[in-house]
Amino acid sequence: MKPIDLAVPGVQGLTPYVPGKPIGELERELGIRNIVKLASNENPLGPSPLALAAATRVLPELHLYPDGGGFELKDKLARKLGVTSDQITLGNGSNDVLELVARAFLSPDVSAVFSEHAFAVYPIVTQAAGARAVVAPAHSGTHGPQYGHDLKAMAEAIGPDTRVVFIANPNNPTGTYLGRAELANFLRALPGHVVAVVDEAYFEYVSEPDYPNALSWLPEITNLVVTRTFSKAYGLAGLRVGYAVSNPLIADLLNRVRQPFNVNAPALEAARAALDDDEHLARTAQLNEVGRALLMQELASCGFAAIPSVGNFITFDVGRAAGAIYEALLGEGVIVRPIANYGLPNHLRVTVGTAEENLFFLAALERVLSV
């Protein structure tokens, strides 16, 4: 018997998550230097100096296990967010928390609902748990933002066996978002046997006046889980720390399946310090606002249809299978993200970088298109 035959059915058919190509890999493949990576929605400013200093201070104590409960980080998060510590579940990035939700609530006899073109981790954790994935069609553009979550279609996809609904707001990779009233009405109408996960990984980047803070609904919607991360705007992707905020009863269930010491000591300290650096977060948001506007404008001038985004990335349609342009950009030393695995084979996603990185990408794109 082959090893794959020994695995549970969900894992047998699972396709692993494919991250953006690392800089080191491209250096090895093509022997080039000075590469610009705009593939993984990382913060081009890097982490806060306060976070770097905090992580460094704890290095001499690496022989000790971290605080398995993350008491100090949870306490600081609770005070900043206006919740209680027993509502918080820490994760090794918010991906970890999404997996905890799947482990706690999904099984082979239930289903999970999520949108077409939504974050790739939702189908992965659903399939790994052996649950049935129900994919609701995204907006066609006729009655809502094209490629965005169609909450009417998602509501219609919910059945008696549905246990989890995943909603990314804003969504990766499309950058689309749901407004306050629309999302609140959807969540309030959910049946009691459904846990709603609102994934706010890009929360700190959004400035739209009708963009909601889903945490405000926790007192009234008891089956709501809100996930966030320090990997994006806080610039701590390499340390892997995220969290969920929920009803304490749900948080208790998530913590039952959480691995001990799932967040390491430098990550705990860096995240706690990052919460103090409002100036760094503001600089990050401002840089992103300016860069995103420039990229939208220049992509349009190249004739590409870009999906309006409120995140720190833009997905654009190149009008044909995007693989050739992606490969050509690699040859120019620019890493973007092909997203055929999201059902968008003609699109590429580019992270908003520094002013210099954005111009480097645009110049490389121009050279690629002129060939």
The string of pLDDT tens digits covering residues 173-231 is 999 999 999 999 999 999 999 999 999 999 999 999 999 999 999 999 999 999 999 99
Task: State pTM to two decimals.
Answer: 0.95
DSSP designation for 94: H
- Count Cα atoms within 13 angstroms, Cβ side, for 266: 15
For the chain, the domains span 3-46+278-370, 50-274
pLDDT in tens, 302-320: 999 999 999 999 999 999 9
Q: Which CATH number is 50-274 given?
A: 3.40.640.10
Alpha-carbon distances of 101 from 75, 97, 195, 252, 269, rounded to whole Å:
22, 6, 9, 11, 25
227-282 pLDDT per residue, tens: 999 999 999 999 999 999 999 999 999 999 999 999 999 999 999 999 999 999 99
DSSP state string for 40-81: S---TT-S-HHHHHHHHHTGGGTTSPP-TT-HHHHHHHHHHH
CATH fold label, 3-46+278-370: Aspartate Aminotransferase, domain 1 (3.90.1150)
**CB-based contact 312:292 (threshold 8 Å):** yes
Q: How far apart are the C-alpha atoms of 272 and 53, rounded to whole Å?
A: 11
CB distance 263 to 91 below 8 Å: yes
